[in-house]
Amino acid sequence: MHLTTIENDFISLAITETGAEIKHLITQKDEAEWMWQADPDFWPRTAPVLFPIVGRLVDDQYFINGYPYPMSQHGFARDRVFDVVNSRKDHIRYHLGSDYESQKFYPFEFDFFISYNLAKNWVWIDYEVINKGKSDMYFSLGGHPGFALPGWPQRKYYLEFEEPDILKPYLLDHGLLIKEKSGSISMDENSIRIHNHLFDTDALVFDNLRSTWVGFRSEDDLHNLRLHFEGFPFLGIWSKPGAAFVCLEPWYGHADFSGQPNEISRKPSIMHLEPNQNFHCRYAIEVMNY
């Protein structure tokens, strides 16, 4: 696995060309690691990029004009090798283009760019999708960064929300969304304690949050982080029960609802690009203890 590191005076970030995936986020002052380190007993990834779908499809397939295409959970980008197209000390930009292999599963011509930029104690992550084909293109897109919670559960951690949102998430059943939302999750002063049973039913999927950032805070206030996701319509929060990490996941799109496989053009919340159009979005990771 080849890693490329970018850095500034506050933080360093190491990314692998497979999936353009963050593997390490380290604060310079104390060499503390902020990313989950992919323990295969729980979850063998760190921060996969989700494209061209988010979550699972019914029967792991979708249709275009009645023709079925297979697609595994979260899409194929996380397992493909990206090219580095630009880099400097505190910035790197990756590219993945459509090819013969991708056309077997996703018959669209595209360019997909991912950029990482450091600004003091912030990591800015930019996604850009370009439709290079002659027909309309459909896709979903999202981040899936997993953050370490050192010392948990003996050391208590809390999810924190910018606003006092009404937290009524969608739940998942075998990776598919259940149409009826669950009951509300109670907050105490905009926060929820991360406990052993919070993710017993898989991820919590939120839409229409008023908060533009969600983060976590340790009880001693020494390991705090925020994820800024303004503009993203969905946010997933997930961990494996018993594992000392939490994923904060900004999404454009989501898993299928339970039921029949969909024509991709009718998939709820699917993104749509006409020929030669492009789509850009960005989110940020802010390390609070730098």
For domain 3-287, the CATH class is mainly beta
Would you say 26 and 32 are in contact if contact means Cβ atoms under 8 Å apart?
A: yes
Residue 184's pLDDT is 83
Let me know if 139 is exposed, middle or buried by CB neighbors in 10 A (0-12, 13-18, 19+).
buried
CA-CA-CA-CA torsion for 72, 73, 77, 79, nearest 10 degrees?
-80
Domain ranges of the chain: 3-287
pLDDT in tens, the chain (290 residues): 789 999 999 999 999 999 999 999 999 999 999 999 999 999 999 999 999 999 999 999 999 999 999 999 999 999 999 999 999 999 999 999 999 999 999 999 999 999 999 999 999 999 999 999 999 999 999 999 999 999 999 999 999 999 988 889 998 988 999 988 888 888 888 999 999 899 988 899 999 899 999 999 999 999 999 999 999 999 999 999 999 999 999 999 999 998 877 899 999 999 999 999 999 999 999 999 76
The tokens describing 257, both together, are 């609802």
B/e letters for 184-222, b = 16+ CB within 10 Å, e = fewer, are eeebeeeebebeeebbeebbbbbeebebbbbbbbbeeee
**Whole-prediction pTM value?**
0.96
Residue 8's pLDDT is 98
